Amino acid sequence: MRASLSNIARNSAALALRTPLRTSTPLSTCARTFTTTTTRAISTTTPRRHDEPKITSRETLLPQTHYDFFPSFGPDALPPKGPFTLDLSLLRREFLQLQAKAHPDLAPQEKKRQAEALSARINEAYKTLQNPLLRAQYILELRGIDVAGDETAKVEDPELLMEVLETREVIEEAASEEELQPLRELNERRIAGSVGVLEEAFKNDDMDAAKEEAVKLRYWINIGI
């Protein structure tokens, strides 16, 4: 039975990775220049608190990575300089502050398209960094490794593939949410374990290990419990 499942598991690798998570904005757009005459118009009469992120009023705003949007992170937060794991509460707080300052409704009509573009980029940066899989894929993409777009990427680990297949079978056969709860908790531990491995891989600047673990993480996230 396990030999048969092993063969099925190997053939099911593509299915487990069928819907890769990826950001909607190509990396090539990350270095576009956004004129920020818009930002002068979107400032409000409310004084800015000292801890609020500042929307620059320089001639151009040129964030090199998603990290650069957020004052508490910036270029030094990008692994291996910074940790893979982020303070998500702080990230969300700064995201909300940025969006409050850069909201397109605060811009004059002639600057709305520029303001919308900036707002969309802030949204994209937050969406990517707050999700561990998207974050891992993004960091790898910055290093020239496209995990998100490579649907054929798989792990040559029969035991892992067997575990994925058996998990899917249990999900399909479950008669109630109560039966799924232990499996859901197990999968959360698997995801946490993968995040821990990614932390070490990026810390050591080991892109091969990071790529392999990102693919594993994609398996567990795509389980769909």
Domain ranges, ordered by start, for the chain: 2-17+153-221, 27-130
- Predicted confidence at residue 22, as pLDDT, reads 53
Whether the CB-CB separation of 193 and 126 falls below 8 Å is answered with no
Amino acid found at 90: L
Q: Which DSSP category does 184 fall into?
A: H
- Count CB neighbours of 82 within 10 A: 16
pLDDT at residue number 154: 72
**Strand, coil or helix: what is 149?**
coil
Residue 175's pLDDT is 85
Question: In which region does residue 144 sit, left (phi positive, over 0), alpha (psi from -120 to 50) or beta (all else)?
Answer: left
Is 61 in a helix, a strand, or coil?
Answer: strand
Mean pLDDT within 193-215: 97
In the chain, the percentage of residues whose pLDDT exceeds 70 is: 71
φ/ψ bin of 85: left (φ > 0), alpha (ψ from -120 to 50), beta (otherwise): beta
Report the DSSP pairing between strands 60-61 and 34-35.
Answer: antiparallel
- Name the more confident of 86 and 59: 86
Name which residue leads in pLDDT, 4 or 164.
164
Residue-wise pLDDT tens digits, 63-110: 789 999 999 999 899 999 999 999 999 999 999 999 998 888 888 888
Does the pLDDT value for residue 195 go beyond 90?
Answer: yes
* Residue 156 pLDDT exceeds 80: no
Q: Look over the chain and give the mean of its residue pLDDT values, rounded to a whole number.
A: 78
User: Is a pLDDT exceeding 70 seen at residue 189?
Assistant: yes
SS3 60: strand
Measured CA to CA, the distance from residue 48 to residue 30 in angstroms comes to: 27
Stretch 45-61: mean pLDDT? 44
Instruction: Decide: 174 and 64 in contact? Cβ < 8 Å.
Output: no
- pTM listed for this prediction: 0.72
pLDDT band at 151 (very low <50, low <70, confident <90, very high): low
Q: Is the dihedral of CA 205, 209, 214, 217 positive or negative?
A: negative
For residue 175, the SS3 value is coil
The two tokens of residue 164 are 């994925």
Class of domain 27-130: mainly alpha
Burial class (CB in 10 A: 0-12, 13-18, 19+), 128: buried
pLDDT score for 143: 95
What confidence category does residue 157 fall into, taking pLDDT thresholds of 50, 70 and 90? Answer: confident
- Across 33-47, average pLDDT: 36
What's the CA gap between 133 and 21, in Å, rounded? 7
Helix (H) or strand (E) holding 11: helix 2-11
Instruction: Write down the residue that tokens 């056969």 correspond to.
Output: 173
Helix (H, G, I), strand (E, B) or coil at 48: coil
Q: Where are the alpha helices (DSSP H) in 106-156?
A: 112-130, 132-142
Q: What is the pLDDT of residue 64?
A: 87
Assign 39 a pLDDT band (cuts: 50, 70, 90).
very low
Taking the domain 2-17+153-221, which CATH number applies? 1.20.1280.20
Q: Specify the pLDDT at position 148.
A: 86
